[in-house]
Chain A
Amino acid sequence: MKYYILFIFLSGGLLIASPCTAQLIPQKKPLMGIFDGRSPCQELARMIQEKTIPECDKIKWRLALYRDSVTGKPNGYQLWGLIYRNERPREGQWQITRGTKADPDATVYQLDLEGKPSLLLQQGDDNVLFFLDADRNLFVGNRDFSYTLNRVSKADELRIMSMAK
Chain B
Amino acid sequence: MVSGKIIVNLLLCAFLGLCACGQTNTPQQVATTDLFVGSTPSDSLIMAMLQIPPGTKSTFMKWELHLQNRKAGKGQFEAIVFYGVDKPGTNGFMDGGTRLALTGTYTLQNGAAANAKAKVYHLQAAQLSALLLLIEMDNNILHFLTPDKHFIVGNGGFGYVLNRIQ
Contact = CB atoms under 8 A, between A and B. Distances in A.
Interface of A: 19-20, 36-38, 60, 62, 100-103, 122, 124-128, 130, 137-138, 140-152
B151 A124 contact: yes
Interface residues of B, number: 28
A159 to B, nearest CB: 13
A98 B165 CA distance: 27
Interface in B120-144: 135, 137-141, 143
B75 interface: no
B138 A19 contact: no
Contacts, number: 85
Contacts of B160: 128
B150 interface: yes
A142 B165 contact: yes
A143 B161 contact: no
Main secondary structure of the interface of B (DSSP, over half): loop
Contact of A138 (B62, B138, B153, B158): B138
B151 A101 contact: no
A124 B39 CA distance: 18
A103 B141 CA distance: 13
Contact of B161 (A36, A127, A146): A146
A143 B91 CA distance: 9
Given A102-B137, A130-B137, A145 B39 contact: yes
B156 interface: yes
B39 A60 contact: no
Given A138-B140, A142-B163, A125 B155 contact: no
